[in-house]
Amino acid sequence: MSDIFLPECEIVDLTEELRKEIEEFGVSNIEEFFKKRLENWKSVEVNIAITGEAGSGKSSFINTIRELDDDDDDAAPVDVLECTKEPRSYDHPTNNKIKFWDLPGIGTPDYPDLDTYCNKVQLEKYHTYLIFTSTRFQANDLKLAEKVRSIKKKFFFIRTKIDENARAQEKRKRKQKYDEEAMLARIREKCFQSLGNLLTNDQDIFLISNHDPDKWDFVRLTQAILDALTRYQRESMTFALGKVITRSSQDIFQRKVNVLRQRIWKVAAASGVVAAIPVPGLSFAVDAALILRELSLYRSQLGLPEIGSAEFVQLHLATKKKVLSVTLTTAAQLSPYFASYAASTAIEEFTRFVPFIGPAIASGMSFTTTYYALSKILPDVEEAAKLVLKEAAQKTAADLENEVD
Ligand SMILES: Nc1nc2c(ncn2[C@@H]2O[C@H](COP(=O)(O)OP(=O)(O)O)[C@@H](O)[C@H]2O)c(=O)[nH]1
Ligand SMILES: [Mg+2]
């Protein structure tokens, strides 16, 4: 819990807003109120600029990061020479506040130079910039990056189609030892050189394949993009990462767990505020509803299969049991998590929250109950999700072996 973040103003706002809400509408709307507040992350805007020469794999990347197939309805059209002269945005399928902007290239007739380009595409509106090539970077890429740096935004250089290089190399060297590391180092070095003195670290170039997001630097790129965003943008973007990317990296999986853990105090505070309102029976109902909603977010974010789905049916019995044990939908099923916590050594931990949420809330049963229930539920879901991941990985390995046979 060392990295927990306690935005004091947020909880003060929350309490104040709640008071107003109750004065105006009574208590009937309270659940809706909290739902909205806990889903704040869905309203955070993230604009990611995607630029680079035609054919470099911009549209493909937009589809891969959104986990869409090229022929899905709202996929970005691949292999189409963009005749659009305007920046075009593609929403993330699970969060339309996250937008990937396919920007026109500099040097095209409508954008002959950098100044025209910057004015027309409104450079300031993007939070981070991804500059693509499938060969090497051009003078305009360099100029753009310098401009982006001057407005204090982050940019990333991305070399796509590494799978093609890997394949070609493998063919050529079938008889000798295939040295992928050396091949990657060569490509990285060439890209690095084409950027002059712009970068000091060649790891700031990302070598990816849009067709294999589980290989090479795709995951590292995803992490770097997350790290370039503000806290709330990062939370929103982390939640938007789909199953494929989450499963391809323990780090991304762990980031999801961390983001979920950092919400616990907020859900607990929400229940604590309700407990401070004297309406008999309301508190427990709201606690249970909040916990169940949060649990459902844990399950979907950490990739637990739905009961009865094809993936669930194929799981080993022990994994199935574990998944079932955290697929709770009623308040009654939560009772094991409401067990006594008084003896818990972690009791110290929540006293750190007191200055932020006020003694009345922190000392309340609701706050502690919800806090401990979620603190116990999340690791259980995490454990179940890891079992599912392990089986998925074993299955992929077995499938690959069968292919080879
Ligand atoms: N092998 C391979 N092909 C790619 C990759 N990225 C894009 N392509 C292919 O390159 C072509 C151009 O891609 P597209 O995404 O339309 O490029 P854009 O013009 O920059 O939007 C398409 O045929 C893609 O399938 C990649 O990483 N590996
Ligand atoms: Mg395109």
- Cα distances from 336 to residues 144, 313, 345, in angstroms, run 57, 26, 18
Residue 199 Cα to ligand 1 middle (Å): 25
Closest atom of ligand 1 to CA, residue 212 = 27
Q: What is the pLDDT of residue 67?
A: 93
Helix (H) or strand (E) holding 154: strand 154-159
**C-alpha to C-alpha distance for 362 and 340, rounded to whole angstroms:** 17
- Distance (angstroms) between ligand 1 centre and the Cα of 134 equals 9
For the Cβ of 88 lying below 6 angstroms from any atom of ligand 1, the answer is no
Three-class HEC string of 164-186: HHHHHHHHHCCCCCCCHHHHHHH
168 close to ligand 1 (CB < 6 Angstrom)? no
pLDDT in tens, 256-294: 999 999 888 778 877 776 666 656 666 667 788 889 999
CA of residue 56 to ligand 2 center, whole Å: 8
In the predicted model, residues of the chain with pLDDT beneath 70 are 1-15, 18-19, 27-32, 34-35, 82-84, 174-176, 273-284, 339-365, 404-405
What is residue 141's predicted lDDT score, i.e. its pLDDT? 93
| Residue to mutate, 53, 71, 78, ligand 1, most ligand atoms under 8 Å from C-beta | 78
- Determine the atom of ligand 1 nearest the C-alpha atom of 132: 20
State residue 358's pLDDT score.
Answer: 58
Q: pTM score, two decimals?
A: 0.86
In DSSP notation, 85-135 reads -S-EEEEETTEEEEEEEEPPPTTBTTB-SHHHHHHHHTGGG-SEEEEEESS
- List b or e across 175-192, with b for residues whose CB sees 16 or more CB atoms inside 10 angstroms: eeeeeeeebbeeebeebb
Quick check: 154 and 129 in contact, CB under 8 A? Answer: yes
105 lines ligand 1 (CB under 6 A): no
pLDDT tens, 161-190?
999 999 988 887 766 677 899 999 999 999
Distance 78 CA to ligand 2 centre (A): 6
pLDDT of residue 4: 41
For residue 71, give the ligand nearest its CA. 1
User: What pLDDT, on a 0 to 100 scale, did the predictor assign at position 215?
Assistant: 93
